[in-house]
Structure 1
């Protein structure tokens, strides 16, 4: 069941924003998202939180500066998603620009699983590194760090995931979520953490006089990658993250992004000049993630590392093909899951736990996300790993912190979960197949304890209705220029319309002509060919549609009620 609800906003705050020069509609939208001062909308790099506030960033910078001066070999251990790939690329490009001898390794998720495991450490040791530098992982790698210490290899951890009860015995850890870190933005992605370490390192090297008589490396050249990883990892776009994303988007729109991002946009036929958070999260990110889901993320990292346009184009073509394959696999998995759930009544339970022998381990996270959206329940989908155990990927809804829920199960029944980790809304875990039913029951029990009935109703939040003059191209363009995403949602509006015409286009999209007292509007509902009734109450966003060189206002319908 869905409920449409208008976001509340403090009218006094909106009024203050209007007095500061913000248009009334935008003032209402911003006030509903916690903006109280126009300074929060300033995306100049000077507004970034200083790296000195990030615990251990300056200490790690000193260690890395010493390593560079001593010509030590640094090996980056990356993660296999878009955040991990961009964090690895930022580390590779940034450290190399600062004079480091640096290489990378990215674990194949199907062979080694997640993080700095003892097996990965032993594999990494074959190349005889002096330092292992983790990006977007490592905070839970207690055994892996212990193995590196045993082998005499120093470990530096950069991560943003929530720590467990025990921290690894690394030489230095930078993570805004580690105990004792007072960094105001707890939502830095892994790539953001690495970018901050590089800023601290450059400052340390400047202090040491390394750049005397030289031009300092411009770390701003890495912001396209920081923006991509931040949006693709669906972290909260707080004030600090919005600066990073906006600055990265400006580089992309100006044609100054790396060859790989340009190639991935070209293969998807998306003009760089019109790039927004949507392109990062739903166009570039999935193509990059496809490498880690189905193949090897080193392919995606190579795409982002190369400065050769032709090579970037060739790799982007391969990534695009992998993404098409991923979508096909996902569609089959979703069909099989929905077949099992044909008779499922959401009222029968607070959670969903599913396993299918034929599901692909690399795609279960997307499947869990799709089922979560459809049924508005926390979902964990399992697939069989090469080792024979079951690998699970979960997605949650507001009200149930998924990692904490798994931690609660683990404390109550320690034998059920082999290992787990993640965030409030997404997590991964491993179990033995014989424990599947017991885990399903334990997860349902915890879900019923942590969620109330109201949390099981999906609320579609809107920013109210639009006045006649607000149905405009200028407002649509203003909205498209802003950075929207997790925690700072794209504005949605609602209103009553009569459906004048409708037809299916591209076999799966519904093209509509809608009318209301405000006028007649072109509209489209993507990925739904379900016919609309004559009168609808629609939830929609404003967009600028470009076709044959001309532009027009278009409503993108996200949901409707009526009949």
Structure 2
């Protein structure tokens, strides 16, 4: 919205309404006329919705997936993420060796959702996953040498960091020096070389060509769960064990995406849309308790 006559450059009044109750002039975002027509014809849409799609930059071949996103159409190949296969392999190696695996999670909703996703997968395959969340005031953000010392003293052998760790080169080097294996699952922008460890999975890591840079950490973890299922299936782990249906945890992935204010396009849009639908059935006791 804007004052004055600037709105004339943005097209005519929308649905016959040119001003708000407070007198502010409504302005339509510019949209290519040809793209509007393409959306109307391809999807049998009315002009206002087709205009909204075009104004958002949705291409003609993307309209259906934007309006009705599905995991089947939009789920990425986990192997398109750099180090995803290595991460799944390292985690399952430790799991099959009955090594002590811990998760180090950031203290925000995305970190908590990411940790909860991993805990649910581990429990589904008959294992427990202790969670370490740093104290925001005394430990700050991300893993530290002190935190890794604490985890080592508690018996950890493999540590999975979620929603943090991609910039913790010195702390991860310390973890390696004291005999800890580390798998980093993150989504934050990276300015330097990744830490040297078992795996660093981050769609915003230089050289990663997954095209999923708008995912929150919970979204990256959700893809990791698919990679774990695939790797475990290949190892025959589900011969006597039911394969976890990760779709039941879409609500947690959606929480991370929404609370981190991520871009709702592509796979992340499907993840969030279906996660909200899952959330609305109130099947998650933790969410029920939070909203009670």
TM-score range, shorter chain: 0.7 to 0.9
If the length of structure 2 is used for normalisation, what is the TM-score?
A: 0.86
Match runs of 1:154-173 below 5 Å: 154-173=181-200
> In 1, Cα distance between the equivalents of 2:50 and 2:240?
48
1:7 partnered with 2:29: yes
Which residue of 27, 32, 54 corresponds with 2:50?
A: 27
Query: Counterpart in 1 of 2:145?
Result: 118
Task: Using the TM superposition, give the Cα deviation of residue 5 of structure 1 relative to its aligned residue in structure 2, in angstroms.
Answer: 4.2
Instruction: Number of aligned residue pairs: give it.
Output: 265
Alignment match, 1:72: 99
The equivalent position to 1:208 in structure 2, one of 209, 215, 235, is 235
Give a deviation string over 1:130-183, Cα, whole Å, max 9, x none.
101000000010111011111100011000001122321121110001121001
Counterpart pick for 1:198 among 220, 225, 231: 225
Shift of 1:245: 0.4
Q: 1:143 to 1:2 in 2, by over 3 A?
A: farther
Deviation of the 1:2 alpha carbon: 6.0
Distance in 1 of aligned mates of 2:36 and 2:192: 43
The CA RMSD measured in Å over matched residues stands at 1.7
Deviation sequence 1:491-544 (CA, Å, 0-9, x none): xxxxxxxxxxxxxxxxxxxxxxxxxxxxxxxxxxxxxxxxxxxxxxxxxxxxxx
Q: 1:176 aligns with which of 162, 180, 203?
A: 203
Q: In the alignment, does 2:283 pair up with 1:261?
A: no
Q: CA deviation at 1:35?
A: 1.6
Aligned to 1:350: none
Which runs of no fewer than 5 residues in structure 2 stay unpaired? 4-25
Structure 1 residue 240, shift from structure 2 partner: 1.2
Q: Whose radius of gyration is greater, 1 or 2?
A: 1
What SS does structure 2 have at the residue aligned with 1:156? Answer: strand
Using a 3 Å threshold, how does the CA distance of structure 1 residues 118 and 243 change in structure 2: closer, same or farther?
Answer: same
Kindly report which structure 2 residues correspond to 1:281-296, keeping only aligned pairs within 5 A, or say none: none
The answer to whether structure 1 residue 129 and structure 2 residue 156 are counterparts is yes
**Separation in structure 1 between the aligned mates of residue 128 and residue 121 of structure 2, nearest angstrom:** 11
Cα drift, residue 107 of structure 1: 0.2
Q: Which has the higher strand share?
A: 1
Task: Kindly indicate whether the alpha-carbon contact (under 8 Å) linking 2:2 and 2:27 is maintained by their aligned counterparts in 1.
Answer: no
1:50 is displaced (CA, Å) by 2.0
Residue 137 of structure 2 aligns to a residue whose secondary structure is helix
How far apart, in 2, do the equivalents of 1:100 and 1:154 lie? 18
Query: Structure 1, residues 65-114: CA drift from partner, whole Å, max 9, x if none?
Result: 11111111111000011111111111111222234441110000101000
* TM-superposition CA deviations, 1:207-238 (whole Å, max 9, x none): 11111254211111110000011010011112
Provide the residue aligned with 1:511 in structure 2. Answer: none
Structure 2 CA distance for aligned equivalents of residues 10 and 55 of structure 1: 37
Give the alignment of 1:33-44 within 5 angstroms: 33-36=56-59, 37=61, 38-41=63-66, 42-44=68-70
Residues 268-305 of structure 1: CA distance to partner in whole angstroms, max 9, x if unpaired?
Answer: xxxxxxxxxxxxxxxxxxxxxxxxxxxxxxxxxxxxxx
> Segments of 4+ in structure 1 off by > 3 A?
1-5
